[in-house]
Amino acid sequence: MKKELKIAATIFVVVFIIDQVVKYGFANLGWDVDGPYMSLKLAYNYGVAFSMFSFLEHYLKYIQLVIVLIATIYLFMNKTVFKEYYLPIALLFAGGLSNILDRFTYGGVVDYFYWHYGFEFAIFNFADVMIDLGVVIIIYKQIKQSREEKKKNGI
């Protein structure tokens, strides 16, 4: 368990710092770049994915902090879950807490990746990608585990 915690903490710190440094550059140093397929353009998201719940703009950071606190308590009480999923948990917590920090620092989440070739896609950031990667890893592990159980039970 100690090894997993060290790895998770390292991943958390690295992802969190990279995300915050990049966001600082876009928010304060004007790192915007226009491209033919994708642009790097500063935008603030006052809601969650695709700006949903933006009407909760001022309360969202507190709601999200409560969710992170509940998840932390759950993991503390279920150490086997953490041991099994420490990598995606580190990615989820780093991305989630970095986005929450944006809400306190900038008033909204700093987004900057803007895909606009062929179709326009939502603007997102590195933390969002890490959150998505964490979810994909969890889903992959769940599918793999389900298949192994079916094979073991002869189904």
**What amino acid positions are annotated as catalytic residues?**
111, 128
Tokens standing for residue 94: 């780093």
Phi-psi region of 78 (alpha: psi -120 to 50; beta: other; left: phi over 0): beta
Give the C-alpha distances (Å, rounded to integers) separating 81 from 30, 44, 76: 41, 34, 9
